[in-house]
Amino acid sequence: MQIQSFTFGLFQTNTYVVSDAAGRALLIDPACSGRAEQTMLRNYIQAQGLQLTAILATHGHLDHLWGAAWACREWHLPVQMHASDHPLAQAMQQQYDLFGVPMQPEPFPMEEPATETLCEQGIEVLHTPGHTPGSVCFYMSKEKVLFAGDTLFRMGYGRTDLPGGSTAQLIESLERLFTLPADTHVLPGHGDSTTIGAERRY
């Protein structure tokens, strides 16, 4: 399994491409916010000869979905996102207005994560509400890798003061994540990677 990370957009959001030996790939959090970033992502996937099989989103916030409409058109795939965050993504204009982004978002197709697609890549979908109602983490138990979105960061965790956030739910979600093996490598939605063990101590 190979993981390539990119950091995109005004919010410095991490996007990940996960690929296997057969050349199948998943795109996690399409945050590419402009033509240059979109070209960078496309060129990497093409240069590696990858076949993109799914576009995944850890949650429905604008910074993780800047490039969602473009990616859906580029690879003829919907965004797989927990159903509880579909309303958040559908109200994207409200998010743009909240953060003062002078743009009109493009709609894009969405569906719930398809377990059979993810299982081919050895990925488990963990529902971790708190940052948003439909926040999820993608867990590769064999490789001990967790794509944590904005649920867990290095020396921090996701904010809960935005619409749909819940501190109580986030605490419960973090407690569940802390039951994973201590050497699980955490790849967050922002910032540097960490481990479950390091964050337990923090």
Output the domain CATH number for residue 83: 3.60.15.10
Count structural domains, the chain: 1
- Residues 183-193, mean pLDDT to the nearest whole number: 98
Structure tokens given for 65:
């979905």
What are the pLDDT digits (tens) for 132-171? 999 999 999 999 999 999 999 999 999 999 989 999 999 9
| Cα distance between residue 92 and residue 101, in whole Å | 11
Find the distance separating the first CA and the last CA of the chain, reported in whole Å. Answer: 29
- What range does the domain containing 179 cover? 2-201
What are the pLDDT digits (tens) for 109-142? 999 987 766 766 789 999 999 999 999 999 999 9
Residues in the chain: 202
Q: What is the pLDDT of residue 122?
A: 81
- By the 10 Å C-beta count (0-12 exposed, 13-18 middle, 19+ buried), 74 is classed as middle
- What are the helix (H) ranges across the chain? 35-47, 68-75, 86-90, 92-98, 115-120, 167-177, 196-201
Half-sphere exposure of 70 (CA within 13 A, CB side): 19
